[in-house]
Amino acid sequence: MGITKSDKFTNQQNDLANLFKALGHPARIAIIQTLLKRQACVCGDIVEDLPLSQSTISQHLAELKKVGLIKGTITGPSVCYCINASAWAKAKTEMDKIMSVLIKTPSVC
Amino acid sequence: MGITKSDKFTNQQNDLANLFKALGHPARIAIIQTLLKRQACVCGDIVEDLPLSQSTISQHLAELKKVGLIKGTITGPSVCYCINASAWAKAKTEMDKIMSVLIKTPSVC
DNA sequence: AACTTTTATCGTAATATTACGATTAAATAA
DNA sequence: TTATTTAATCGTAATATTACGATAAAAGTT
């Protein structure tokens, strides 16, 4: 059918998947890197940096904002975006939780 | 258009995005967790554990295998899947590289 | 008020993903 | 050889994502 059966999985599984999914596009990785590079992080700056149209960038920003990894503050006519450090810390904790076990798992086959 | 412009981004950005993307589905998170729980990790066991059909599970396994996070060994008529610990270690290193900077980034706005 | 700048949203088209049943292929068992 | 078992692949339909141009909305400027 093509619809992801979120209801069949736990909240923990869905949340973690949504977090990974938000980072599962090169443009969104690039946006994060741009936000790191520039301290002043106006939307227009990102559009200048990336080879995508303004509307597409806006969509990607919305997805990152949806999972809370970035936040945007309206400053006059423009919007200042930046990393939401506390959300990243929380995300890292969740990822580390599963990752630290995984790297220690012996390969049985 | 709807096609991801991979060619416009760096290999590092594409690789990292592909890694995250592979983990961006609750079924694939669940599969990883099943592989952790059971040491013997025959495909059929996973199908029993998850509320998805055999063919769908097989597709998800293929995606995880594509990015190298799991490996499968043919043992008779069945296939034994398991975590590829070294690939996870590499993935964790890549993720940590960007994550550790992010959690220290002050929120300017 | 009229204009400009900036970003979000709308409408759309193209591609990708998800899911399932049916079939195939490969190995074992009878 | 002929089943049987197991997993991958094929065919398909439905939904989601990606991307863009055009338009709208909101704030500042003249």
Query: pLDDT tens, A23-41?
Result: 999 999 999 999 998 876 8
Q: Which phi and psi angles does A79 have, rounded to 5°? A: -125, 125
| Domain range annotation of chain A | 11-99
Is some CB atom of chain A closer than 8 A to the CB atom of B16? yes
| Percent of chain A clearing pLDDT 90 (strictly above) | 70
* Alpha carbon distance B100, A63 (integer Å): 22
CATH class of B10-102: mainly alpha
Tell me which residues have their CB below 7 A from strand C.
Answer: A 1-5, 42-44, 47, 54-55, 58-59, 61-62, 72, 77-79; B 1-4, 21, 24-25, 27, 52-56, 59-60, 63, 74, 76-77
Tokens of A16: 């973690």
Identify nearest nucleotide to residue B2 by CA to C1′ distance.
D18
At the second CATH level, the architecture of A11-99 is: Orthogonal Bundle (1.10)
Question: What pLDDT score was predicted for residue B46?
Answer: 96
Determine whether the interchain pair B99/A106 forms a contact, defined as Cβ–Cβ distance below 8 Å.
no
pLDDT in tens, B57-69: 999 999 999 999 9
Q: HEC states along chain B?
A: CCCCCHHHCCHHHHHHHHHHHHCCCHHHHHHHHHHHHCCCCEHHHHHHHCCCCHHHHHHHHHHHHHCCCEEEEEECCEEEEEECHHHHHHHHHHHHHHHHHHCCCCCCC
